[in-house]
Structure 1
Amino acid sequence: MDAPPHTPAPGPAAGAAPSGLRASDADRDRTADILREALAEGRLTAEEHGERIGAVYAARTLGELEPLVGDLPRPGGAARGSAPAHPRPYGAGPEGPESTENLVAVFGGAARKGRWRVPRRTNAFALFGGVEIDLTEAVFERRENVVNAVAVFGGVDIKVPENVTLRTTGGGIFGGFDVRTQEAPDPDAPVVSVTGFALFGGVEAKPRRGKRLKNLRAAG
């Protein structure tokens, strides 16, 4: 009697990504877009959204991203476990710039202002110095934008247009971390999330009254 044909052991479903796979900037941005939609639909509170956004940009693997949106529907009705829908483009290309910009002031000063394209993440470090980040004339090419500000015996000053959303997950340790949070009425408005800490220093972020983005989706 012939032996039954060998049946291969089941493997991972086609298209499924291993949870230990390193997450890319695009993966984080797509996850952040799902959270933004959930906030706009009232599925998340502003506090819950802020906590999850902070975890999104701290995530290193796809397995760390999935639980952050596991209880939320995907845009367009995609099922749980499928790849997040691609965010709508803001400017040059669907993902915008993937770079990280670093501003360092040690016993001195550093500034970024005027007309400039905002990267996905801006790191600001002030040690016995000051960093100024002015976003009032900047070009936003994505919805979710992170400013990681660290002030040690120094200061970081951040200004944003009055019609963008401003959130924070940072704090002060023998210092001040003053972020005047606000939610923009337009759900498509850019979001600036300020993270980090102040140690014997200060981080301040606030909307600049009278400064508005005329076209929230302009590539400029």
Structure 2
Amino acid sequence: MRVSDEDRERTTQQLQQAFSEGRLTPSELDERLGLALSAKTYGDLLELVADLPSPQPQVSDVVELGSGNGNVKRSGDWAVPRRLRVSSKYGSVELDFTEAVVPHQVVDIELDLTYGSAKIILPEGAVANVDGFQSDWGHPTSKVPSRPRPGVLSVVITGRSRYGGLTVRYPRRRWFTH
């Protein structure tokens, strides 16, 4: 399969990381970067990094989650794709990113909800844009900043809920008493 400019860029970043770790010499880096920038297929790119450690877990670019009557929930240590499509007819959606592996700086979430609401919990400091989400009866509520910042997870939420809302927040603080 043919590669995109983004695929080439991801490979060049992996090569540069390997060079900074001392895994490649300057001449090896130059040679591999030239080949990466002119690569046409995934096989061409994979050959350039086959002898290097993988920078992060491989995550699909698009994952679709759905439920007719139940709830959709992701929490704990889970791999977050670049784009997440979630549909739920009669249940709620909860996506907890606080312990998730997020290899992308920007994650797009598309929600299609009929009779349920969605709750998205982001790690401290992350931002979320909910301007592309519409609700016929409920309303979107975001308790996190929306303006993207360099080096910070940015979540863009689009889609629709007919009879439910959307809440985006940071984890609840735990108060301990002695």
TM-score after normalising by structure 2: 0.60
Amino acid at match of 2:152: A
Which of residues 31, 53, 56 in structure 2 aligns to 1:92? Answer: 56
C-alpha distance in structure 1 between counterparts of 2:93 and 2:149, whole Å: 29
Q: Could you tell me how far 1:186 is from its partner in structure 2?
A: 5.9
Q: Which residue of 2 aligns with 1:10?
A: none
Is it true that 1:201 corresponds to 2:164 in the alignment?
yes
C-alpha distance in structure 2 between counterparts of 1:156 and 1:166, whole Å: 14
8 Å Cα contact 1:179/1:204 also seen in 2:
yes
- The percent identity for this pair of structures is 27
C-alpha distance in structure 1 between counterparts of 2:117 and 2:154, whole Å: 22
Q: Could you tell me how far 1:122 is from its partner in structure 2?
A: 1.0
Count of aligned positions: 126
Q: Could you tell me how far 1:134 is from its partner in structure 2?
A: 0.7
Q: Which residue of 2 aligns with 1:144?
A: 106
Q: Could you tell me how far 1:209 is from its partner in structure 2?
A: 4.2
C-alpha distance in structure 2 between counterparts of 1:132 and 1:174, whole Å: 19
Amino acid at match of 2:106: E
Amino acid at match of 2:68: V
Which of residues 112, 119, 135 in structure 2 aligns to 1:172? Answer: 135
C-alpha distance in structure 2 between counterparts of 1:177 and 1:183, whole Å: 13
Q: Which residue of 2 aligns with 1:162?
A: 124
8 Å Cα contact 1:197/1:203 also seen in 2:
no
Higher helix share: 2
C-alpha distance in structure 2 between counterparts of 1:186 and 1:148, whole Å: 21
8 Å Cα contact 2:137/2:165 also seen in 1:
no
Q: What is the SS of the residue equivalent to 1:26?
A: helix
C-alpha distance in structure 1 between counterparts of 2:159 and 2:165, whole Å: 11
Q: Which residue of 2 aligns with 1:40?
A: none
What value does the CA root-mean-square deviation take over the aligned residues? 3.0
Q: Could you tell me how far 1:183 is from its partner in structure 2?
A: 5.0
Q: Could you tell me how far 1:177 is from its partner in structure 2?
A: 2.3
1:37-56 correspondence runs (5 A):
none
Is it true that 1:26 corresponds to 2:9 in the alignment?
no
1:94-133 correspondence runs (5 A):
97-133=59-95
8 Å Cα contact 1:174/1:199 also seen in 2:
yes
5+ unaligned residues in a row in structure 2: which ranges?
11-54
Q: Could you tell me how far 1:189 is from its partner in structure 2?
A: 0.9
Q: Note closer, same or farther for the CA distance 1:130–1:187 as it changes in structure 2 (3 Å cut).
A: same
Amino acid at match of 1:178: T
Q: Which residue of 2 aligns with 1:188?
A: 151
C-alpha distance in structure 2 between counterparts of 1:139 and 1:129, whole Å: 25
Q: Could you tell me how far 1:171 is from its partner in structure 2?
A: 1.7
**Deviation sequence 1:141-200 (CA, Å, 0-9, x none):** 011111111211112221111211121221212232223341589621111111111111
Amino acid at match of 2:102: F
C-alpha distance in structure 2 between counterparts of 1:124 and 1:104, whole Å: 6
1:61-100 correspondence runs (5 A):
91-92=55-56, 97-100=59-62
C-alpha distance in structure 2 between counterparts of 1:147 and 1:162, whole Å: 18
8 Å Cα contact 1:103/1:131 also seen in 2:
no
